[in-house]
Structure 1
Amino acid sequence: MSHARLQQPPSKQVDRLAHPRAALDVESVRDAYRRWAGVYDGVFGGVSGAGRKRAVAMANKLPGTRVLEVGVGTGLALPLYHPQKRVVGIDLSRDMLRHARERVESRGLRNVVGLVEMDAEAMAFEDDSFDIAVAMFTATVVPDARRLYREMRRVVRPGGELLFVNHFAAEGGLRWWAERTLAPLSRVLGWHPDFALTDLLDDPRQAVEITECPPFGLFTLVRVPNLALA
């Protein structure tokens, strides 16, 4: 397992700070995904498919049946869960959730026990409500990714698992330049193109597994055990 690709050199970290990204807020995210809801599957479904499949395959292998999918969107991943997993999905966008509910009904997904409009940074669930929490392409969307991480830790039992699939910023080259250039458009896009692993985790060593996903390593699967607080 290598963290090198996800950690930017000090010079680039300074440069990132010198060019702050546009701040996201709840309403800008809702507005963005109101625009994306009708075309999301066609535009993003294919390119994000491999990362989604890998995350759910890992969730299916992990112990425990109570699964929370954070940022469930249109429900593209829901048919992939093992029938024994009892899945609750949350999303901030009611437009995306409408598509997810249609998918659950049309596919007869009885193991999906709830789809709820909810802010991932302030969940209504009690502590230790789930065994596994999965956030696919969500960390770049929320206004405060570390707050998202803390909430996921809170609602997952000690000893459970947190899974993330996300785009993380490149260290250099043409992709890094493009991500830096797009960063001011975060509010329009609805996500942060220049998002780094350190924007999510205080210490990337908290992750026990970091795996690049096709296509071209554009997305990365990160597994973090929910260790009990000392």
Structure 2
Amino acid sequence: MSEFRNRAEDQQKIYQRWAPVYDRVYRGILRDGHRKLAALAAAAGTDILEIGVGTGLTLGHYRRHCRVTGIDISEHMIARAREKAKREKLEHVQALEVMDAHALSFAENSFDAVCLPFVITLIPEPERALDECARVLRPGGEIILASKLGDGAGLQGAIETAVAPLVRHIGWSSAFRLHRIIAWAERRGDFAAAEILPVFPNGFFKIVRLKQSGLAA
């Protein structure tokens, strides 16, 4: 538990430093992933939860008929997201709250889609967070993730592992593997990977659709 708490505190400090400049650094490189993730979420249903909303870079990409709730562990990031939603008149954004992905305060069957844009690799206990995503999801809903998800193979895998301690200091992870997400779905038995999409730049990032009840489409 102390290790978990220390990692959470480290993330808070990282995000506090990055909140003022996050949009300038990441808006361009993550735009393709944000846009595609938001479109897939809207296709899954109207009520959407975004975990790790950060400064709100994805919010403007959701279709306006959706009802979007965003959470983040960082109050500094949430403050930026609230400013953005107000400034850009994003009326489809219902709420932006500070919350731990490991212990969501929402009731079961609350959302049609749960999105995790570029955050799953940074969550201290990702399987526990995914279990929470599954709990608040409605039957037939989808968990949609965008992230740097390698397979650990070859030279690229070796490089990703070697640089992992360095990139962690800027709030990223390079060592998280795609098979960890697939293994979570297989262990549960009520989710299946419906689709894995490469996104800019040149497939470096990926989007994974996890559909409930094993109904891959």
TM-score calculated relative to the size of structure 1: 0.83
Identical pairs, percent: 37
5+ residue gaps, structure 2, are 187-191
Asked if 1:163 is matched to 2:163, the reply is no
Asked if 1:30 is matched to 2:12, the reply is yes
Structure 1 equivalent of residue 107 of structure 2? 126
Structure 1 equivalent of residue 22 of structure 2? 40
Counterpart amino acid of residue 39 in structure 2: A
- Alpha-carbon contact 1:139-1:200 (below 8 Å) kept: no
Distance 1:79 1:186 in 2: 28
Distance 2:184 2:132 in 1: 17
Q: Describe the shift of the 1:174–1:48 C-alpha distance in structure 2 as closer, same or farther (beyond 3 A).
A: farther
- Alpha-carbon contact 1:67-1:132 (below 8 Å) kept: yes
Task: Tell me which protein shows more helix as a share of its residues.
Answer: 2
Distance 1:216 1:55 in 2: 16
C-alpha displacement of 1:168: 0.9
Structure 1 residue ranges, 4+ long, deviating more than 4 angstroms after superposition: none
TM-score calculated relative to the size of structure 2: 0.88
Aligned residues: 206
C-alpha displacement of 1:214: 1.2
- Alpha-carbon contact 1:161-1:225 (below 8 Å) kept: yes
Structure 1 equivalent of residue 170 of structure 2? 189
Structure 2 equivalent of residue 218 of structure 1? 204
- Alpha-carbon contact 1:55-1:165 (below 8 Å) kept: yes
Counterpart amino acid of residue 94 in structure 1: E
CA displacement, residues 100-133 of structure 1 (integer Å, 9 cap, x when unaligned): 0111001111110100000011111111111111
Structure 2 equivalent of residue 145 of structure 1? 126
- Alpha-carbon contact 1:146-1:201 (below 8 Å) kept: no
CA RMSD of aligned residues (A): 2.0
C-alpha displacement of 1:185: 3.5
Structure 2 equivalent of residue 49 of structure 1? 31
Structure 2 equivalent of residue 6 of structure 1? none
- Alpha-carbon contact 2:152-2:177 (below 8 Å) kept: no
Structure 1 equivalent of residue 67 of structure 2? 86
